[in-house]
Structure 1
């Protein structure tokens, strides 16, 4: 079951700029120069010290998901040999409430048939798979993305291999602008409710929970909301050479991820 994250609340962002001025005159030999008076340090002010601390969270918040994928074998414990279409079909079978005829993502089921040989690749909801060691065990893990029709959401999944079994260690559904792999972290970019802003959610591996856990949710200013900046070609990673599946694009954007060799931190 994917993580059901609560609705985010837009927070006003306050930017603090640090200005450093270096003056150099003609003939200056590089000696030390005074930078002026140093501002007096101000300690944080603790508000409402008598406020009774909360003893429980305001709402349920699942920070991780972990489950064994049933019905999908891993030949030779090599995750590269796992068919991504089989993986998505296993999820569809395990989650009838989501993918059944009355489920929110029922449109994905029919389109997934076009991911097989001979199908219409432009209708395939499965995005190209990416491989990188996210768990730190020295072996590649599998990052999958697939569109959740008829909604504008994209499913983001991460899988690893444990004891000859395929294990899902991250499951999140969101409206996606892009997905990035930075070291062993997965970062999702999603549209915010205010033009010119976006959410960036970071997931990292937690050895204790044996899963990718929610680490950070940022609300960032990306522009004035009137112009669309085309990303540079150098910033767009290429898919894994072993990827064999593709999917059509949508108005919600496409997911992308960097693909270094296995074990690259």
Structure 2
């Protein structure tokens, strides 16, 4: 073997050795490892196959219920120009049994509306109307309005969604509950509510349904949120109208 060829063979051997070393190092750092035995898939077992069909619908959660707001219109159906305070006042006028009649559960809300406009608009001062948020929840390319207001006395919050349909302002979602957070995700409204069990919460999702022209309760979950700290007081005990609330619970 001539020196030149021996030199080439030596360099080739070193190259192969380096590649093997690199491959070994990579395998040590990121090789696949077993996660243990996989549970065997089990198909659902249907119980009581001879059970007769239900004779009535399941519990009504208020889905597919819409309501036209009377007396509130704006030029061009621009929902950004709708006054949230006027919308809440229209609801109070349309539902006196809830807000202004004798023994109404939410008389504090009707009384508190006097502070709206005098000490500021929605989301300011003692006004029970919260700041409005805008997003296209119906998929028609136009913003819809998500509105909230406090139900007083008590610790509940009313969450509403409005859109324009045929030049009319229409309420397409309504939910009253003890609320810890409200989120907009895509075309859905997610409402988080406290639980009596520490470390857990209720989470309800309302999603637009084009066939029903309303937002439907598409998911209602009971989820763990973290380490239990302390028990919460019962919403039913602190709210005078828990029995009449249009709650997703």
Determine whether 1:50 maps to 2:50: yes
Q: CA deviation at 1:28?
A: 2.1
CA distance in 2, matches of 1:212, 1:140: 15
Corresponding position of 2:116 = 115
RMSD between superposed Cα atoms in Å: 2.7
Unaligned ranges ≥5, structure 1: 1-23, 228-250, 253-265
Q: Are the equivalent residues in 1 in contact too, given 2:108–2:151 (CA < 8 A)?
A: yes
Q: Distance in 1 between matches of 2:130 and 2:144?
A: 16
* CA 1:114–1:36: 2 relative to 1, 3 Å: closer
Structure 1 segment 211-226 matched on structure 2, within 5 A:
211-226=214-229
Aligned to 1:234: none
SS of residue paired to 1:225? coil
- Aligned partner of residue 139 in structure 2, secondary structure: coil
Measure, in 1, the Cα distance between the counterparts of 2:58 and 2:166.
38
Q: Which residue of 2 is the match for residue 11 of structure 1?
A: none
Aligned-pair CA distance for 1:163 = 1.9
Normalising by structure 2, report the TM-score.
Answer: 0.74
Q: Using the alignment, how far apart are the partners of 1:224 and 1:31 within structure 2?
A: 34
Other-structure match for 2:72? 72
Report which structure shows greater RCO (CA 8 Å, sep ≥6).
1
Structure 2: which 5+ runs fail to align?
1-22, 231-237, 240-249
Task: Show the 5 A alignment for 1:1-150.
Answer: 26=25, 28=27, 40-102=40-102, 103-118=104-119, 121-150=124-153
User: Quick one: distance in 2 between partners of 1:193 and 1:32?
Assistant: 43
Aligned length: 206
Assess, with a 3 A threshold, how the Cα gap between structure 1 residues 62 and 35 changes in structure 2: closer, same or farther. closer
Superposition deviation, residue 118 in structure 1? 4.0
* Whole-angstrom CA distance in 2 between matches of 1:52 and 1:147: 44
Greater mean alpha carbon deviation, residues 117-126 or residues 145-154: 117-126
